[in-house]
Structure 1
Amino acid sequence: MTTALNAVEINLSAAIAAVANNDPLILTTSSSGQPERDELPFGPFNPLEHRTFETGLREWVAEQTPLQLGYVEQLYTFGDRGRHKTVEDRGLHVVSVGYLALTRISENGSEQLRKSGARWRNWYSFLPWEDWRGGKPAMIDEEIRPALQEWAEANALPSRLSRFRMAFGDENIAWDEERVLERYELLYEAGLIEEAIRDGRADRTPARCLPGLAMSFDHRRILATAISRLRAKLKYRPVVFELMPPAFTLTALQETVEAISGRHLHKQNFRRLVETTELVEPTGAEQIQARGRPAALYQFRHNVLEERSVAGLRVGNRS
């Protein structure tokens, strides 16, 4: 028997990623309650209408945006209480099933996208401490490290200090770009981001929060999970080509990998890596450039999936 005490609603949320102009993008819609607040496309799972969770997700995305999803994979199930306040006020406990989806941006669909109210946002506007392409973000040493140090030492809990060092690194521990979710959860627990204040987990004013746009519900948490998964998957599956056009230059491929990983990569080392993995092959065509010689165009070599089970760009962790 379902009562107000054990009623559960299952929400399906999509972190839809693309890359354009060397920046990683996430598709967001406007919150009905707070139009200025971004949220991921989402909707409830209806077991009478949706045969599977993924079927339901695709239907919600098609209803809220002009996109037809291609590559989709389930991320994680989020069931913590307190992160869906508006729904829980009705006595429901919300379970969010997050998905990662990859797509290419089409110029033809930009007008339809605008009319739908959806928009592409740079995902580093939500998680600015994750973008190391220009070197370590100043905010890590100027804001995050002192605040987390104070929080970790407040109750003399060694576990907090250890988590802080593992997540953000120090002189003995390298920054690991895959720990996106761990860093977000640590900042949430320390009360340094707006969602923690909204959920009643921290007693401070929004003005004292770290830079970075908040999202509705637990959607920034789902975004952090999606980035973690995609950064890790780059190294063992050729998912990056889901974001590339059919033909591309090696420079464009490198810039896409850099955008996702949040790291600057050495050009010659990257090209040697691409050659070693044999993930691409030349098309025989060239791209005319504004300056310099024309650049050779390449395409993904699909046969690689039949040749070996692990096929990715193992760029390694930052040292």
Structure 2
Amino acid sequence: MRALVFHGPGDIRVEPRPDPDVAPGELLIRVLATGICGSDLHGYTGENGRRHPGQVMGHETVGRIVEGDALAPGTLVTVNPVLGCGTCAACAAGTAQLCPTRRVIGVDRTISSAFAELMTVPAANAVVLPDGMPEEHGALVEPLAVGYHAAVRGGVAADDRVLVIGGGPIGQACALAARRLGAHEVLVSEPHPSRRALVERLGFETTEPAALGSRAERNVVLDAVGSSASLRGAFEASTPGARVVLVGMNAPDVTLGAYAISTYERSLIGSFCYPAREFQATAEWVASQPPELAHLADARVPLDEAPAAFAGLAAGELDASKILVRLGEQ
């Protein structure tokens, strides 16, 4: 098979790799498409230190079964990349993302992941999608599930006025999730005009970050950026008692205005990945073919052009919000 192999900051190449062996309880998947995630890009640039030389990344994916006892060959699937131990209290509760020894496909250096023509996954992590839906939409389930879990963690409900900070793929997922959960109003803050335009095509009102201070009426904020500046904006634009969900991972450490939390009794809530039930629910929503999905992937490249796509994104030369790498296309 061919795979996209990370060799260090700014260095990623298409190379031959041995086809993976299928262990008992696993499925062999021929990958159709894999999205370039912001965490992949930050790994490529060396910013997050969570990607390692020799690693095959990729976790936003869709493919068809080649081999395995659990599903018939040809079955269309997406993959829940969160791997729990299966025996701890968190796993027993269905929250493998909180497992003390969790691993994540695409992040764990020992797992050859979805930027490859073939990959193996535990059968329990494959989620079946129906034939007849656009195949590439299966690669959107994972980021959409991240946004859905953030909205669930924030307790978004019908009377809420929601602010989403950041209009990139995770911010888009948060906004869509808030609407799925019935939020009264959803506003998205985003500095880049092209991303604001995409969010508006999804049917949401947008604003520039500089204007947030005058709109301090939101009782739920979903921070899809994750920086000191974005959290400061979240506090400035939210009501006393507001719920602020931190789902973005721009920086591992941030500075917090403690009084903005304590004296106004705001709650700061962490959100990471998703439980399996929410991934499944998001896959079912994607399978229903909501029209918004047509706007989410705005560029596609074959595997051979993936190194140039990474380089262009890192240099700020590409304006795409979500690039899908189409495996098997020359």
Q: Compare the two structures and name the one with the higher strand fraction.
A: 2
TM-score by length of 2: 0.28
TM-score by length of 1: 0.28
Q: Compare the two structures and name the one with the higher helix fraction.
A: 1
